[in-house]
């Protein structure tokens, strides 16, 4: 019982029941009073209908307010739950690479390793540092979005070369266990380099994270009708149609088995859509055949 008393919704509904009960009793008393005051049946009927009308309006407003408050409470509750999961995920995402880097450094310090093994540890340490850098970058971008102070520094660039550069930087880490197929046509656009790198990195990280090892990730870039079309397709678990729009929400993570096993912050697609729209583009999530997800981004070139 104590648990219910501490629940604000329980107290709110208790108050609503009290108000409805008192209002019903007030209507009954007024109706009884009208019956004693007005002897004319026509006038009594008018007064009664007026009373019923006012009561109906009150009830509609009351229950409309209850519905809106209940929906706002549920949204806030869901957001708090997502934020809690986000903090847990971030803690794990930060702890894992830091622990790995610590172990690598301790190994280098305590053991006399051959050059090949030393170079391998250096490479693994750099990969973990890049992972941390990507996480911190996403957190900073999200903070800037929330504060509405994220600004683009646009300049002419070759999008195909930028995509190739990002793939090269991820080949020994995120994309190491996957087959990458590139089909990039030369394409120039005016955009913010760091933002575009963030878009491509987040999409490739998602594709690799939710796809089985040794599966193919294809990246296609083409220009049609003054529009640059970037498509990243994987052979992973995909996203059901009813959750494709939800996937762009901040902190959202689909509750399926592979998502629970794969840690993440739920910020990737939220950031990607914001940055795409800042460039005047649009993004869509489509099913890949026979399985997986296709992310299609369109940028206007003029």
pLDDT in tens, 37-93: 777 777 777 877 888 888 888 888 888 888 888 888 888 877 777 677 666 666 767
Instruction: Give the three-class secondary structure for 250.
Output: coil
Report the CATH number that the domain containing residue 266 is assigned in CATH. 3.30.565.10
| Global model pTM greater than 0.75 | no
**105 and 9 in a common domain:** yes
Nearest to 229 by CA among 281, 288, 274: 281
Nearest to 108 by CA among 95, 122, 128, 124: 122
**160 and 66 in a common domain:** no
Helix, strand, coil shares, percent, the chain, to 5: 65, 15, 20
Residue 187 lies inside a defined structural domain of this protein: yes
Higher pLDDT, 86 or 99: 99
**Is the peptide bond between 117 and the residue preceding it cis, with omega within 30 degrees of 0?**
no
**Residue 246 domain boundaries:** 154-300
Nearest to 293 by CA among 257, 251, 244, 258: 244
Residue 205 lies inside a defined structural domain of this protein: yes
Residue 138: other Cβ atoms inside 10 A: 21
pLDDT digits (tens, 9 = 90+) for 129-154: 888 888 888 888 888 888 888 889 99
Phi, psi of 75 (to 5 degrees): -65, -45
Residue 192 lies inside a defined structural domain of this protein: yes
**239 and 101 in a common domain:** no
Count of structural domains, the chain: 2
């Amino acid at each position: 019982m104590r648990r219910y008393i501490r629940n604000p919704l329980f107290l709110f509904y208790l108050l609503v029941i009290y108000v409805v009960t008192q209002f019903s009793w007030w209507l009954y008393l007024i109706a009884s009073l009208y019956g004693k005051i007005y002897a004319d049946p026509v006038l009594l009927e008018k007064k009664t209908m007026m009373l019923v009308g006012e009561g109906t309006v009150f009830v509609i407003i009351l229950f409309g307010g209850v519905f809106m408050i209940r929906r706002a409470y549920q949204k806030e509750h869901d957001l708090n739950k997502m934020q809690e999961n986000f903090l847990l995920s971030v803690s794990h995402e930060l702890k894992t690479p830091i622990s790995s880097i610590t172990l690598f450094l301790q190994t280098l310090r305590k053991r006399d390793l051959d050059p090949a093994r030393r170079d391998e540890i250096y490479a693994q340490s750099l990969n973990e540092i890049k992972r941390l850098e990507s996480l911190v970058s996403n957190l900073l971008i999200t903070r800037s979005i929330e504060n509405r102070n994220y600004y683009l520094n646009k300049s002419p660039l070759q999008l195909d070369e930028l995509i190739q550069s990002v793939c090269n930087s991820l080949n020994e880490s995120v994309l190491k266990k996957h087959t990458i197929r590139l089909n990039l046509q030369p394409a120039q656009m005016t955009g913010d380099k760091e933002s575009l790198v963030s878009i491509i990195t987040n999409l490739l990280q998602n594709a690799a994270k939710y796809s089985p090892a040794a599966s193919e990730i294809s990246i296609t870039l083409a220009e049609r009708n003054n529009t640059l079309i970037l498509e990243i397709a994987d052979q992973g678990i995909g996203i059901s149609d009813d959750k494709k729009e939800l996937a762009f929400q901040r902190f959202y993570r689909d509750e399926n088995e592979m998502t629970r096993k794969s840690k993440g912050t739920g910020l990737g697609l939220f950031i990607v859509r914001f940055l795409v729209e800042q460039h005047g583009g649009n993004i869509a999530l489509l099913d890949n055949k026979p399985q997986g997800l296709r992310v299609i981004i369109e940028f206007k070139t003029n």
